[in-house]
């Protein structure tokens, strides 16, 4: 009597374990950026680098295609569901009037989109400007204190010259939620208290507009 034949059963392929740290998912907002400045002057724009995933996003480098354009910061990490504000600065001292189409590249550890490009259109306008000090940086804006915000916070900004200033709160889609201060201000430091009312917890932007130059800082609201 023949011995029974053994049937070979193929072993199942091992299922790779999911990374317990999760995976980052990069996004930028807005998807493109426009910056206007007078000929020979300076200009700024900002965009958010957001992490929509559940792993830590590491931005290795941020680079551009123009020698007169710079970004700050150029490398950083973003926690899950967090965001970092990046400022793009343009030095127009060597630029003539016209439209310049450039690109900012963001390199990160996002496994699906390691290289992301942001289109930047720079509009250099005639040198005359309604603000006599527009050719030099005229204002600075500090992050909220304390931050994250629970209850109320102090917003501080400085002007180099007497100028009209508007301080407002906007959401990540650019919609104005509240105007905290508006009108002429003397040169020097200023402080505005903000007690959020009717605004849901989340990430917002504090915007300072003075002499046609905009400054932004992020604000994280916990209550």
Predicted confidence (pLDDT) per residue in 88-145, tens digit: 989 988 888 889 999 999 999 999 999 999 999 898 887 644 454 444 557 888 888 8
The DSSP string of the chain is: -PPPPPPP-PPPPPPPPPPTT----EEEESSEEEEEEETTSEEEEEEEEEE-SSS-EEEEEEEES-TTEEEE--SEEE-TT-EEEEEEEEE-TT--SEEEEEEEEEEE--SS-SEEEEEEEEEEEPS--SSTTTTS--EEEPPPBSSSBSS-EEEEEEESSSEEEEEEEE-TTS-EEEEEEEEEE-SEEEEEEE---S--SEEEEEEEEETTEEEEEEEEE--
* Residue 131 lies inside a defined structural domain of this protein: no
Domain of residue 203 covers 139-221
Final residue of a structural domain among 125, 155, 180: 125
User: Does 12 fall in a domain?
Assistant: no
Q: How confident is the model at residue 76 (pLDDT cuts 50, 70, 90)?
A: very high
What is the structure's pLDDT at 38?
81
Residues 183, 215 share a domain: yes
* 65: CATH: 2.60.40.10
Q: Is 13 within the bounds of a domain?
A: no
69-85: average pLDDT: 90
Structure confidence at residue 19 (pLDDT):
46
The residue among 60 and 176 whose pLDDT is bigger is 60
The pLDDT of residue 9: 42
Q: Answer whether residue 4 shows pLDDT above 70.
A: no
The reply to whether 196 falls in a domain is: yes
- 65 within domain boundaries: yes
pTM of the model: 0.60
pLDDT of residue 16: 38
Same domain? For 116 and 91 the reply is: yes
Q: pLDDT at residue 12 above 80?
A: no
Q: Within a domain: residue 14?
A: no
Is residue 69's pLDDT more than 70? yes
Among 94, 125, 156, identify where a domain stops: 125
> Which of 125, 159, 181 finishes a domain?
125
**Taking residues 142-166, what's their average pLDDT?**
88
Please check whether residue 18 lies inside any domain of the structure: no
Residue 44, pLDDT > 70, answer yes
CATH number of the domain residue 183 falls in: 2.60.40.2550
Q: What tens digit of pLDDT does each residue of 173-220 get?
A: 778 899 999 999 999 999 999 988 888 888 888 889 887 677 888 888
| Tally of structural domains, the chain | 2
Q: Kindly report, residue by residue over 15-29, the tens digit of the pLDDT.
A: 333 345 589 999 998
pLDDT at position 10 is 44
pLDDT band at 2 (very low <50, low <70, confident <90, very high): low
Q: What is the pLDDT of residue 213?
A: 76
* 115 lies in some domain: yes
One domain, residues 39 and 121: yes
């Amino acid at each position: 009597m023949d011995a029974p034949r053994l049937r070979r059963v193929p072993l199942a392929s091992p299922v790779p374990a999911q990374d317990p740290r999760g995976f980052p998912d990069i996004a930028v907002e807005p998807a493109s950026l426009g910056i206007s400045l007078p000929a020979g002057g300076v200009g700024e724009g900002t965009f958010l680098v957001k992490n929509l995933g559940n792993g830590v996003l590491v931005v290795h480098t941020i680079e551009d295609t123009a020698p007169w354009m710079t970004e700050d910061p150029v490398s950083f990490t973003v926690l899950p569901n967090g965001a970092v504000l990046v400022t793009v600065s343009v030095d127009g001292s060597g630029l003539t009037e016209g439209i310049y189409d450039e690109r900012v590249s963001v390199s990160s550890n996002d496994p699906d989109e390691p290289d992301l490009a942001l289109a930047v259109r720079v509009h250099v306008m005639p040198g005359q400007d309604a603000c006599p000090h527009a050719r030099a940086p005229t204002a600075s804006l500090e992050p909220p204190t304390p931050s994250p915000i629970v209850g109320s916070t102090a917003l501080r900004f400085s002007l180099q010259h007497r100028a009209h200033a508007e301080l407002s709160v906007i959401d990540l889609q650019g919609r104005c939620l509240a105007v905290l201060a508006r009108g002429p201000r003397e040169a020097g430091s200023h402080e505005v208290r903000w007690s959020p009312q009717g605004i849901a917890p989340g990430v917002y932007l504090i915007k300072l507009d003075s002499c046609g130059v905009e400054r932004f800082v992020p604000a994280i609201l916990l209550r």
